[in-house]
Every structure is written in structure tokens, then in C-alpha cells.
């Protein structure tokens, strides 16, 4: 197994600075997710670890060894990409066996390892099919099996679930998690899907414009987003973010009045998650407006109210019902976590 260290990594494409300066240590056995919106530099970072992309300056160390000039095949990594990269003319068995063949593993040993791996990802009944005779999820599992068949030191996965339908994504997510538990191999996983990041990661590195804006456990990132960007990016539905100002210990915006522990200040954004708001009959409650939409999700109902330009969403009981456009009031639940950010810098204030 292996620790991966990125030290002062800079990546330029011509004059374009894709990664300004990145420092990151991925611990041995960790499942680290690089999360961020399109174009933030996740794939570039991963490709640099893989050796598929030159680095402009800085060092990459795998197991304490500087690998800047090592080709991908000598880095003891296995990669799984979004588009599987399976060989269409080979059977599932041959696809999985290929990396072993490349490394000159003896035939009998190859056979046993292919069988073992196929069982692990439940492909043993499909070994004689070709990729064209498989569903998307099955192909994805072949790609996965091919990468785990020789237990590398590091897995690099770039949006490996993005071609799958919603249901299969969830199933495969659990499979990946279980597999990581079983194998304990250091894994770097790229995604723009915050739910995938939250559910899979040991730690999440949230990236924006080539920089890591927060590196923490999923729990910490959810409970204590470092800035406004992370606050808005993590969570579904998103955290309510309300523009206002603080005066005399009260955060105020149109239809909103919430006690906060902050000195007088303009340009403040207050954040509160939908599940920390409750619907109330109290007309003097913290947030008042008109009911704008009700969305039943099954286990709960999302209640959105609007007041002028601001809106807020609460997660209510599944059986909550009311007239659209009727007055509606929300209040932070007992002990709810209130987040405060500076409007212009996005910096966390409390
Ligand atoms: P996505 O989720 O869309 O794949 P990403 O976070 O993985 O995005 P990267 O592919 O790492 O983003 O790209 C980071 C930035 O570098 C982007 O602005 C992209 O346009 C730029 N970039 C990537 N590859 C090249 C290249 N070969 N030449 C020039 N610019 C590039």
C-alpha cells in the first residue's frame, strides 16, 4: 500500500494556469475524493498522479519515492475511467486477465486470480461474454475487475460511475465502498457529484479553480463548510443561503430575523440546512413568506417559501400539506447550526 504526496504542484497549459499550487498528502489506505465543479482541475490533478500529464513544477511522491519522471506503468497504479476502456474483441475473462498477462503472470495463477476477482464483483457468470453483450453496469464492473485483479498500490478512479443510471450508481457506490474496505488500497477518486463524494470518501478535497478550498472528512465538510462555495456545493437540497446584515445580535433580511452571535456587520450571508428548519404556525417565527412549492420526496416533503428575492427550503414531514401561496413560517430547530459568511470574500465568519 502507499502514501501519495503532492508537493507544490503547479500545472500550466501554455499560459493558462490550471493548478496554481497544490499540496496534498493522501494517506496510506485512504479513500480520497477530489470534488468540484467542471473545470476545477480534478482530472488534471489525477492525471498528474497517474503520470499521464507532465507537471510544470513540484514533486509527486509515491511511497516516499519521487515519481515525476516515471512512466504510468512503473507507478504501480490501476486506473478506472468513465468510459471503461475495455477491449471489445476480448471476452470478459480476457479483459480481466490482460494486466496479468502483460506482467508475465503464469497461466494457472492467472486463471485463479481472474476467477477470484470475477466473483468479487459478481461477474463469474459472464466471463465468456464480450463487452457488447453487457449492460453499462456490468461493463463498469469488468473495468473495475481489470483494475483490481493485480492489487496495485493505488487506485485512480475518474468519474467511474457517471455512465450508469441513477439506481445502478447507488448500487455500485456500495460495491466500491465494500471493495475498498476489503482491499484497503489507497484510492483517489474524482467526481463532481457531492453525494458520491460524501458517501465514499474517507476525506474529501473540495477544489475550485485549481485550488483545494477544504480538505476534511465528509462529516466535517457538511457540518462546517470552510466558505460560502463549499456551503453551497455540499448537500441536497442545498443549504439555504440568505443575504442580509447583522445588527444588535440579529441577522436581518426581508422576512427574516434570526439571533446570531456576531457583531454589527453588513454583507453577511446566513446559511442553514433544510433539515434544520421546521415549519411552524408561529407568525412571528424567524423566516416568513409565502409557500412557493411542495415536493414530496417519499420520506419527507421539501417546503419552499419565498419572500421578495429570498427563498428558503425546509425538510418537513412527508404528510405536510398546505395551499401554495398561503403564508408560511419557518424556524430553526432547537440547536440548529447557523453558518455565517462574508458576502464578498465568501469567508466563514462563524
Ligand atoms: P470536469 O469535471 O469537467 O472533467 P475537471 O475538474 O476534471 O473538470 P480538468 O479537466 O482538470 O477539470 O481541467 C482543469 C482546467 O484545465 C480547465 O479549465 C480545462 O479547460 C483546462 N485544461 C485541461 N486540459 C487542458 C489542455 N490539454 N489544454 C489546455 N487546457 C486544459
Among the listed residues 317, 278, 309, 275, the one whose alpha carbon sits nearest the alpha carbon of residue 292: 309
Residue 339 alpha carbon to ligand 1 centre in Å: 32
Contact 206, 36 (CB under 8 A): yes
Q: Which CATH architecture has domain 240-342?
A: Beta Barrel (2.40)
Section 229-240 average pLDDT: 95
What pLDDT does 1 receive?
60
All three cell numbers of 331: 424556524
Give 19's pLDDT tier (boundaries 50, 70, 90): very high
Could you tell me if the CB of 13 is within 6 A of ligand 1?
Answer: yes
> Which pLDDT tens digit goes with each residue over 185-210?
999 999 999 999 999 999 999 999 99
Q: Which ligand 1 atom is nearest residue 43's CA? A: 7
pTM: 0.90
Q: How many CB atoms lie within 10 A of CB 127?
A: 18
Residue nearest to atom 31 of ligand 1 (CA): 13
Residue nearest to atom 24 of ligand 1 (CA): 44
pLDDT above 70 as % of the chain: 99
> Which pLDDT tens digit goes with each residue over 100-109?
998 899 999 9
Could you tell me if the CB of 188 is within 6 A of ligand 1?
Answer: no
Among the listed residues 236, 230, 198, 235, the one whose alpha carbon sits nearest the alpha carbon of residue 217: 198
What pLDDT does 140 receive?
84
> Which pLDDT tens digit goes with each residue over 213-228?
999 999 999 999 999 9
Residue 124 alpha carbon to ligand 1 centre in Å: 37
CATH 3.40.50.300 in the chain, residue ranges: 4-231
Residue nearest to atom 18 of ligand 1 (CA): 39
Q: Which residue has the cell 470478459?
A: 92
Contact 29, 186 (CB under 8 A): yes
Say yes or no to pLDDT of 179 above 90: no
> Which pLDDT tens digit goes with each residue over 23-70?
999 999 999 999 999 999 999 999 999 999 999 999 999 999 999 999
Residue 83 alpha carbon to ligand 1 centre in Å: 17
Say how many residues make up the chain. 350
Could you tell me if the CB of 191 is within 6 A of ligand 1?
Answer: no
CATH 2.40.50.140 in the chain, residue ranges: 240-342
* Domain 4-231 falls under CATH 3.30.2270.10: no
Residue nearest to atom 9 of ligand 1 (CA): 41
Amino acid at each position: 500500500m502507499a502514501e501519495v504526496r503532492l508537493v507544490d504542484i503547479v500545472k500550466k497549459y501554455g499560459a493558462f494556469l490550471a493548478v496554481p499550487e497544490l499540496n496534498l498528502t493522501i494517506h496510506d489506505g485512504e479513500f480520497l475524493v477530489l470534488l468540484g465543479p467542471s473545470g476545477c482541475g480534478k482530472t488534471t490533478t489525477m492525471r498528474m498522479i497517474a503520470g499521464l500529464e507532465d507537471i510544470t513544477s513540484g514533486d509527486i511522491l509515491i511511497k516516499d519515492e519521487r515519481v515525476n519522471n516515471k512512466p504510468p506503468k512503473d507507478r504501480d497504479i490501476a486506473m478506472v475511467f468513465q468510459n471503461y476502456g475495455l477491449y471489445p474483441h476480448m471476452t470478459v475473462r480476457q479483459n480481466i486477465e490482460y494486466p496479468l498477462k502483460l506482467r508475465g503472470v503464469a497461466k494457472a495463477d492467472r486463471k485463479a486470480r481472474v476467477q477470484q476477482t470475477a466473483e468479487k464483483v459478481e461477474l463469474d457468470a459472464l466471463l465468456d461474454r464480450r463487452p457488447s453483450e453487457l449492460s453499462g453496469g456490468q461493463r463498469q464492473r469488468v473495468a473495475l475487475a481489470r483494475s483490481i485483479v493485480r492489487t496495485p498500490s493505488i487506485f485512480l478512479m475518474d468519474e467511474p460511475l457517471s455512465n450508469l443510471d441513477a439506481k445502478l450508481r447507488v448500487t455500485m457506490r456500495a460495491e466500491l465502498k465494500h471493495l475498498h474496505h476489503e482491499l484497503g488500497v489507497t484510492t483517489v477518486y474524482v467526481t463532481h457529484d457531492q453525494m458520491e463524494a460524501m458517501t465514499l470518501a474517507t476525506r474529501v478535497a473540495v477544489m475550485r479553480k485549481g485550488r483545494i478550498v477544504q480538505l476534511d472528512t465528509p462529516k466535517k465538510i457538511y457540518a462546517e463548510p470552510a466558505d460560502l462555495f463549499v456551503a453551497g456545493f455540499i448537500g441536497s437540497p442545498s443549504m439555504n443561503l440568505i443575504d442580509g446584515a447583522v445588527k444588535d445580535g440579529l441577522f436581518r433580511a426581508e422576512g427574516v430575523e434570526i439571533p446570531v452571535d456576531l457583531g454589527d456587520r453588513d454583507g453577511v450571508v446566513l446559511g442553514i440546512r433544510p433539515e434544520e428548519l421546521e415549519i411552524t404556525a408561529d407568525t412571528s417565527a424567524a423566516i416568513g413568506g409565502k409557500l412557493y412549492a411542495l415536493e414530496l420526496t417519499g420520506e419527507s416533503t421539501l417546503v419552499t417559501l419565498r419572500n421578495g428575492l429570498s427563498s428558503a427550503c425546509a425538510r418537513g414531514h412527508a404528510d405536510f400539506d398546505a395551499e401554495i401561496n398561503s403564508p408560511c413560517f419557518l424556524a430553526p430547530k432547537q440547536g440548529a447550526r447557523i453558518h455565517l459568511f462574508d458576502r464578498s470574500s465568501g469567508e466563514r465568519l462563524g
